[in-house]
Structure 1
Amino acid sequence: MPAASPTEERQPAAPATTAPPPFVLWREVLVAYAAPAVMAGTGGLATGQPELGLAAVTTIAGTSALVAALVGARHRRRPAGSWAERGPRPLVTALFGLGAAALALALGTAGAQLLPRIPALADSPWPGRLRFDLPVSAAIAATAVTWRWRGTRPRRRRAR
């Protein structure tokens, strides 16, 4: 067996168990805003839809960032051992995604009905987009934040 080099001898051994990375809310919110804004904005430019470009930085990315902030803040205040930590990660993630989508659909439908009554928005296509933009953005943001939050929680050991 060849002798270890001096640099290899000075390296401490990696710990057997590593702690999961921390959940950093501001980064989650930043990504939740930037990713859909860039993707939808690029799609609006590529297809020649200026209304999609405007929606990208308002209803799509704004909804995503707001939902990420709300869901992430709730997860950070969640007590250790809560149902969201104990349940299967895919199921918990799906429940948060569907719950956020349902709530956003209700808000988007109400907004699409009420906002055209405002004279300045009467001829705008923007309120009509709320029925689609809000639930899709909310579902993606809640799903991503919940999945990433669960990845920062320590794994529990199964009893044998």
Structure 2
Amino acid sequence: MPSTVHQQPAAPATAAPPPFVLWREVLVSYAAPAVMAGIGGFATGQTELKIAAVTTIAGTSALVAALLGARHRRRAPGSWVERGPRPLLAVAFGLGAAALALAVGLAGAQWLPRIPALADSPWPGRLRFDLPVSAAIAGTAITWRWRGSRPRRRRAR
């Protein structure tokens, strides 16, 4: 009597990780913070937050994702970034991006109010907070996603 149970072929033990597609990563890095901060702006009635959601918050996130993602894609196979532990790398690149963005945000908050058109605007003051937070999240996320797209190397025993 033939068996009616169909057996599925076993999946390969080392399936390839999903590819890292930079334009999709940058698009998500813009859209996700724009939507989330925009919802917060609408929920609290803060016009300033609604505008920042699509400019400084999402724009910084997309810029960091594009620059860092492009840099990661050009890394040589077997580089220290490919070999390092994923969580540590993600945190390190997130903190590095935040530190650079904080420097830019502080400089912008200092110098932009000197432009007559921006003298009364609250926008330059937001740069101190918006830029480093957005850069930290984008740097961490893009490094995590890129590192996850790299094939795992087996350790020699």
Structure 2 residue aligned with 1:3: 3
For 2:125 and 2:97, the matched residues in 1 are separated by 19
* Bigger Cα displacement from structure 2, 124-133 vs 12-21: 12-21
Structure 1 residue aligned with 2:73: 76
For 2:150 and 2:13, the matched residues in 1 are separated by 17
**Are 1:115 and 2:77 an aligned pair?**
no
Write the letter of the residue equivalent to 2:35.
V
**Are 1:46 and 2:54 an aligned pair?**
no
Percent sequence identity is 83
Structure 2 residue aligned with 1:150: 147
Residue ranges of structure 2 left out of the alignment (5+ in a row): none
Residue ranges of structure 1 left out of the alignment (5+ in a row): none
**Are 1:56 and 2:53 an aligned pair?**
yes
For 2:135 and 2:14, the matched residues in 1 are separated by 35
Write the letter of the residue equivalent to 2:108.
G
Which secondary structure state, in structure 1, belongs to the residue aligned with residue 49 of structure 2?
A: helix
Structure 1 residue aligned with 2:136: 139
1:101/1:2 Cα in 2 relative to 1: closer, same or farther (>3 Å)?
farther
1:22-63 residue CA offsets vs partner (Å, 9 max, x unmatched): 100011001000000000000000001000000000000000
Write the letter of the residue equivalent to 2:15.
T
* Bigger Cα displacement from structure 2, 53-62 vs 80-89: 80-89
> TM-score, normalised on structure 1?
0.93
Question: Between Structure 1 and Structure 2, how many residues are aligned?
Answer: 157
For 1:69 and 1:2, the matched residues in 2 are separated by 57
Deviating above 4 A after TM superposition, structure 1's stretches of 4 or more consecutive aligned residues are: none
> TM-score, normalised on structure 2?
0.95
For 1:46 and 1:63, the matched residues in 2 are separated by 22
Q: CA deviation at 1:14?
A: 2.7
Structure 1 residue aligned with 2:27: 30
For 2:131 and 2:118, the matched residues in 1 are separated by 18
Q: 2:17 aligns with which of 10, 16, 20?
A: 20
Which secondary structure state, in structure 2, belongs to the residue aligned with residue 58 of structure 1?
A: helix
Q: CA deviation at 1:87?
A: 1.0
1:22/1:42 Cα in 2 relative to 1: closer, same or farther (>3 Å)?
same
For 1:157 and 1:13, the matched residues in 2 are separated by 21
